[in-house]
Structure 1
């Protein structure tokens, strides 16, 4: 697979009928679900689960998505999504990059850059990234 950056974390999806919109291709909102799913899978692999987030009273909330849709996906197609942590300021912000590829022809269908802010789960107020986040995420940062 031709990835935009080295060392991607990847996961595969099969496009289901539920993902298809009235234009007969994957609805744009479905890509956000893929983004969320691969982000959590990557986080879990790095050692941070939702249970850890709850214990630490922290969440990484999306503050900005920049998405480029370059080609449609259709029902039954096999897709592979890659993600990288590309920015980590050790204070409040994290950024991920994503690339979605159709496996059959290796065509890139979507690219996304997402910025997150660290907040408390209980109040939603901005808070510093906890040490446990630094330990898990900082070694995974890939430079562009």
Structure 2
């Protein structure tokens, strides 16, 4: 694959009929859902799941999405969805980069960046990352040329 960065976390998404819009392309809502699914799968693989978030009364809430739709996906396309953690200040903020590549022709369909802020789940207000978050997320940050 022609990944923008080394050593991505990757999972495969197969576009279903329910995800197709009136233009016969994967709907943008399906892409956003896949961004979420990929980020959670990566967090789980790193050792942070929703149960840990809940036990610590902390979560990483999206503060900003930047999505570049580069080409359309169609029903039954298999897409490799990659993510990398590109920033973690160990205090409040984290950022992920994404790249989705269609398996059949190796075309990059989407690139995206999502910025997160740590919140208390009980109040929704910004709160410092617990050590469990910074100890896992910060070492996972990859070097970029941004």
TM-score by length of structure 1 reads: 0.99
Question: Which residue is 2:127 aligned to?
Answer: 127
Any gaps of 5 or more consecutive residues in structure 2?
none
Q: Distance in 2 between matches of 1:51 and 1:89?
A: 23
Q: Distance in 1 between matches of 2:63 and 2:30?
A: 18
Q: Distance in 1 between matches of 2:52 and 2:136?
A: 11
Mapped pair 1:140 → 2:140: yes
Question: Which residue is 1:75 aligned to?
Answer: 75
Q: For 1:56-92, what per-residue CA distance to the aligned partner results, in whole angstroms no more than 9, with x for missing partners?
A: 0011111100000000000011101000000001110
Q: Distance in 2 between matches of 1:28 and 1:127?
A: 31
Question: Which residue is 2:103 aligned to?
Answer: 103
Moved over 2 A (4+): none
Secondary structure in 2 aligned to 1:59? Answer: strand
Equivalent positions of 1:11-30 (< 5 A) are: 11-30=11-30
TM-score by length of structure 2 reads: 0.97
Secondary structure in 1 aligned to 2:124? Answer: coil
Task: Kindly tell me the number of residue pairs found equivalent between the two proteins.
Answer: 144
